Structure 1
């Protein structure tokens, strides 16, 4: 469940910005033969602008429609709210929950520990910590991750700090069964070399076959082929963050004929100048 290529799914919207469930089904058809698990209703899924009802229903729909393991996005800057959402994700059929670190109120490391410990005590499914300091304003240190790894159902971390020294220290010091997943497409191959188990990926929404080929090459010991694919994919990794995620990936999926629609405000569509750069990369990779 917690290895390989795991797309952080977009939430497609119709013209009226309601959730496009038929679009989710189309995207699943595109993804499923290449990826190992799915993350609906995370950052890339615009969880911040989904209502609670939409959030839970998106997770439920993916869990009921796909045969792959589902890691439901959850988490909040309120521990009580995070408990409620994690329980609802569990009831919706998710196999695990991914909880972003509390944002805005900036708890210290002891507060973070108590937050995750409290949530973990209330749910029975595995929990993956999501560390993304650029969005939350706080970082989970290696020392904290070691403590969290001692909690029975805290099984891994999605690491999007961009700090390879920190990532190396986490992998070196946590138990072998605690999983570290890359949260940054560009760093996936370096993180695999350090002992990471896979990636929760934005790029896998548009190039799941190439992401899986890179992961498989590495897993089979063919580092030269994995490196070749990393370099081939690097322009895609860069252009998908030419603006705030998920603005570029939604535009890419629209250009490819997949389901995405426009992002919800306060996010807006990718401007034309950036769209041309995105289009050029997609053509280079034969995606359009």
Structure 2
């Protein structure tokens, strides 16, 4: 989407935010520049969680949360508590997984999530296609 489109969407009362999965931090910065501060911009790429938060984004919806939920929570909680060094350490822990998962289709994430179900970690749910989700 163009920044102009994001600005138009952000002005609508029934749209409160968007997820950007482009992998481009430049896109995220442009979207933040044109949207009001209460518009929720979410990183859709795990590698951009901390940069997005630091730039004014509100959080993330990333596939790696299904595999490494503790790491993603740590990035957010450390950032929220002002421990930016701790947030950066957690973000760095995610980088190898992001590189690996980016090489494979989403079914790999679901396979990892299935494995996590047997470790006592919370179940983040099963992924759905846009068609299955009604959109």
Tell me the TM-score normalized by structure 1: 0.40
> Could you tell me how far apart the structure 1 residues matched to 2:61 and 2:95 are?
16
2:16 alignment partner, one of 149, 155, 164: 155
The structure with the larger Rg is 1
Tell me the TM-score normalized by structure 2: 0.81
| Alpha-carbon offset, residue 187 of structure 1 | 1.0
> Could you tell me how far apart the structure 2 residues matched to 1:204 and 1:164 are?
19
2:111 alignment partner, one of 231, 245, 251: 251
> Could you tell me how far apart the structure 2 residues matched to 1:254 and 1:149 are?
36
CA-based RMSD of the aligned residues comes to 1.9
**Matched residue count:** 121
Within-5 A mapping of 1:36-185: 140-185=1-46
Whether the 8 Å CA contact 2:66–2:110 is kept in 1: the answer is no
Partner of 2:133: none
Partner of 2:102: 241
| Alpha-carbon offset, residue 188 of structure 1 | 0.9
Q: Which segments of 5 or more consecutive residues in structure 1 lack a partner in the other structure?
A: 1-139, 262-288
2:76 alignment partner, one of 212, 215, 223: 215
> Could you tell me how far apart the structure 2 residues matched to 1:152 and 1:181 are?
18
Whether the 8 Å CA contact 2:71–2:93 is kept in 1: the answer is no
| Alpha-carbon offset, residue 220 of structure 1 | 1.1
Query: Which of structure 1's runs of 4+ aligned residues deviate more than 4 A?
Result: 258-261
Partner of 1:281: none
Whether the 8 Å CA contact 1:179–1:196 is kept in 2: the answer is yes
Does structure 1 residue 202 correspond to structure 2 residue 63? yes
| Alpha-carbon offset, residue 181 of structure 1 | 0.3
Show CA shifts across 1:233-281 (max 9, x none).
211222222211x2211221233337889xxxxxxxxxxxxxxxxxxxx
| Alpha-carbon offset, residue 203 of structure 1 | 1.1
> Could you tell me how far apart the structure 1 residues matched to 2:110 and 2:100 are?
12
Give the structure with the higher percent helix.
Answer: 2
